[in-house]
Structure 1
Amino acid sequence: MTDPALPTEAPVLVRASGGLGHLTLNRPRAMNALNLGMIGDLAAALDDWEHDPDIDTVLLDGAGDRGLCAGGDVRALYEQIRSGDPDGAGRFFRAEYALNARIAEYPKPIVVFADGVTMGGGIGLAGHAALRIVTERSRLAMPETRIGFTPDVGGTWLLAHAPGRLGEFLALTGTTMDAADAIAVGLADHFVPSADLPALRDALRSGAGTAQERVARFLTADMGDGTPAVSALERSRDWIDDAFSAATVADIVDALRARPEAAASDTAALLGELSPTGLAVTLDAVRRARDLPDLRAALAQEYGLVMWFATSQPDLVEGIRAQLVDKDRAPRWQPGTIEELAPDAAASALAYRPRIALWS
């Protein structure tokens, strides 16, 4: 939620007052989807404010009422791969992942309003911030497997540290979380009603105390507005933890089919519709991320995976075509079924080394 009096021409609005550096993603018609220029604008502002004694807190939000950020510009990625320019995709990912790490490591508290849709690249911005605010309108997801891809922007790191096997479930299915789910999983910290965000923004600008203390004044005992106080994901832990602890995607599907819950059967059917390659790579990526030392290591692993997809895997282009270009929702995966998947597919992806390293 943003101030309607602000200028609307810039893709990122950058302003500072009262100790607050305020960044607003400003492409509301595109649900504030990130492009390379926006990433550069965000990084430059953080550079400028890091040593500015007049700035003690940074706020990131999105223009319009639809959401913080629906993700990266996937159509641009589609065109880059189709035109034989994977290096263009690499430039975008390197800049985006550097920004994700910058947010996580920033010496001043970054507060993010993940109000409305916050998915994919939006999770990369919000998920690594110091204070992550969700509302009754929040809808968070890492939906990359829906386009034959794999979660990135540090998503495997975040999901690897979710309770039980919720990380595997969310990464493989791309299930959308509400505020209660996001807090339970560890992708958000606090619930604030959307109607209170303008007042919270003002308090961050001119209020007394630390950023955490200013946020705390707006927290409510229950979520209200139809948002359940108890996470639906938490209530489903029995069948999720049981099935998604299985060794392989095929084993997970078998375990889901053996469960009595209708939701488990529905999940098995969903996995049968998604890219077998994307699912296998994602499962191994999340599990390996649990043993990595930090976010930067997880981002490096993800970078290798996304460049493997961009340079060698037809499922990524096909998934984007089916979901976002032609919108026929009928992708033709290669291979087409989990049973046809080569047993070393995930190992090949994880062994891939991009021509240009992520961290130089």
Structure 2
Amino acid sequence: MNATPDAPDAPDAPDASCDDSPVLLRREGRSAHLVLNRPRAINALNHAMVRIMADALDTWERDGSVATVVLTGAGERGLCAGGDIRSIHDDVRAGRAAASAAFWRDEYRLNARIARFPKPYVAVMDGIVMGGGVGVSAHGGVRVVTERSRVAMPETGIGFVPDVGGTYLLTRTPGELGTHLALTGAPVGAGDALLCGLADHFVPSERLREFTAALAGTEAADAVRQYATEAPAGELAEHREWIDHCYAADSVEEIVDRLHAWGGRHAKEAAETILAKSPTSLKVTLAALRRARELPSLEAVLEQEYRVSLAALGSPDLPEGIRAQVVDKDRRPRWSPAELAQVTEAAVGRHFEPVDGESLGLL
């Protein structure tokens, strides 16, 4: 989930050569580095950061001296915790929804750009990697996690729906693992990120500095072979039986019923977690996942997600969810409608309708 205070006609992005730029750009030998640089906000993305990253990729793709692009985050807490969701709350309340729409348009285009980047794009997914952080990392060609990684798409908890290509990624996990992660918003560690196809390699955090330094003069594949090791065991594999059975249901209500009927502690906890989320977001998320399975490409899924995101801007649950989580922090959102049974098929379907004049232009 991401948002931005910038208006559609925002000024040019800050100079990324300055230490106070929200994205630092630097060269080390044949590697070019993108360093997300808002450590106090766990490097949450804003519109300026997206523009800096897109411009840098355009430049480095044409630069024959750049062999590899490396994405990291400043500070010790994580690569990127998502986006500035307080800003979207303020935008919606002030009638400035167009600012968030403009940000999403550029962000989703960047996600597609990363997925198709012709040179190795090495994403170091250390620490917290959530929402928009997944979008700028998990579409890369070389995705590295560590024992500190916590990867999640937690949008249903703030009245939103997984975006940044998240529904594309989550529909390509084994079985119904992606549906479980999308509806609950649960974070996963390194082993489960690898199992779910959200990452490719495990490098212990104590070796990250050596690994990224090696990329200055070593091909990405060779550096991975030198520094990657076996990841710690994950947790999801042992729960595949109940996850695959329960989440294969055709509605959120039936999923919850199956989870309760299964009888195990983990299934019951998943049901309780789901029931605390926005009912509308849950139903739209399940529909988005099922539809994404039938779409032919990441670009097609991103176009769908853009339509869903625009529809969410008019939903009462999005500003309410953000209010409860990050503004007032009472953790007591008042969802509207408040119950799954009150969310109609028509209300869900409206999220997928095209918006006149609004497209990413990816297809």
TM-score, normalised relative to structure 2: 0.93
- Please tell me whether residue 243 in structure 1 is matched to residue 246 in structure 2: yes
Pairwise CA distance, 1:341: 1.8
What's the offset of the Cα at 1:202?
1.0
Determine the structure 2 residue equivalent to 1:3. Answer: none
| Pairwise CA RMSD | 1.3
Which residue does 1:305 correspond to in 2?
A: 308
The alpha carbon displacement at 1:16 in A equals: 1.3
The Cα shift of 1:345 comes to: 2.5
Aligned to 1:115: 126
Q: What's the offset of the Cα at 1:7?
A: 6.9
Query: Aligned partners of 2:304 and 2:327: how far apart in 1?
Result: 28
Q: 1:334 to 1:269 in 2, by over 3 A?
A: same
1:259 aligns with 2:268: no
The equivalent of 2:86 in structure 1 is 75
Q: What is the CA–CA distance in structure 2 between the aligned matches of 1:30 and 1:182, rounded to whole Å? A: 23
SS in 1 for 2:295: coil
Aligned residue for 2:27, secondary structure, equals strand
Shift of 1:165: 0.4
Deviation at 1:73, TM superposition (A): 1.2
1:292 equivalent in structure 2: 295
Identity percentage over the alignment? 49
Of the three residues 315, 318, 340, the one matched with 1:316 is 318
Distance in 1 between residues matched to 2:318 and 2:338, nearest whole Å = 13
Q: For 1:336 and 1:169, how far apart are their aligned partners in 2?
A: 21
| One-letter amino acid of the structure 2 residue matched with residue 251 of structure 1 | E
Question: Within 5 A, what are the aligned runs for 1:1-360?
Answer: 8-207=19-218, 210-220=219-229, 222-223=230-231, 228-229=232-233, 231-310=234-313, 312-353=314-355, 355-359=357-361
Task: Measure the CA separation in 2 of the matches of 1:281 and 1:353.
Answer: 17
Report the alpha carbon displacement of residue 10 of structure 1 after superposing the two structures with TM.
1.6
Distance 2:19 2:62 in 1: 28
Per the TM alignment, residue 213 of structure 1 is displaced from its structure 2 partner at its CA by 1.6
**CA deviation vs aligned residue, 1:226-248 (integer Å, no higher than 9, x gap):** xx32x211111111111000010
Q: Distance in 1 between matches of 2:350 and 2:255?
A: 21
Q: 1:143 to 1:152 in 2, by over 3 A?
A: same
Q: Which moved more, 1:147-156 or 1:269-278?
A: 269-278
Q: Which amino acid aligns with 1:272?
A: L
Give, in whole Å, the separation in 2 of the partners of 1:129 and 1:103.
6
What does the per-residue CA deviation read over 1:12-51, in whole Å, with 9 as the maximum and x for residues that have no partner?
1101131101110010000000000011111111111101
Q: Using the TM superposition, give the Cα deviation of residue 355 of structure 1 relative to its aligned residue in structure 2, in angstroms.
A: 4.0
- Name the aligned partner's letter for residue 27 of structure 2: A
Please give the per-residue CA displacement for 1:203-250, whole angstroms capped at 9, x wherever unaligned: 10122xx31122111012x33xxxx32x21111111111100001000
The alignment of Structure 1 onto Structure 2 pairs a total of residues equal to 346
Q: Quote the offset at 1:137 in angstroms.
A: 0.4
User: Cα 1:353–1:7, aligned 2, differ >3 Å: closer, same or farther?
Assistant: closer
User: Any idea what SS the aligned residue of 2:119 has?
Assistant: coil
Cα distance between partner residues in 2 of 1:266 and 1:354: 41
Query: What secondary structure does 1:64 align onto?
Result: coil
Matches of 1:252 and 1:339, distance apart in 2: 13
Tell me which moved more, 298-307 or 76-85. 76-85
Residue segments in structure 2 that go unaligned for 5+ positions in a row: 1-16
SS at match of 2:181: helix
SS at structure 1 position matched to 2:136: helix
Contact 1:307 1:354 in 2 (8 A): no
Normalised by the length of structure 1, the TM-score is: 0.94
Q: What SS does the aligned partner of 1:21 have?
A: strand
Distance 2:356 2:319 in 1: 19
5+ long unaligned stretches in structure 1: 1-5
Please report how far the alpha carbon of residue 141 of structure 1 lies from its aligned counterpart in structure 2 after TM superposition: 0.1
Once residues 352 and 130 of structure 1 are traced to their aligned partners in structure 2, the CA distance between those partners, rounded to angstroms, is 31
Aligned residue for 2:216, secondary structure, equals: helix
Quote how far apart the aligned CAs of 1:334 are: 0.5
- Per-residue CA deviations over 1:173-209 (Å, capped at 9, x if unaligned) read 10000000100000000000001000001110122xx
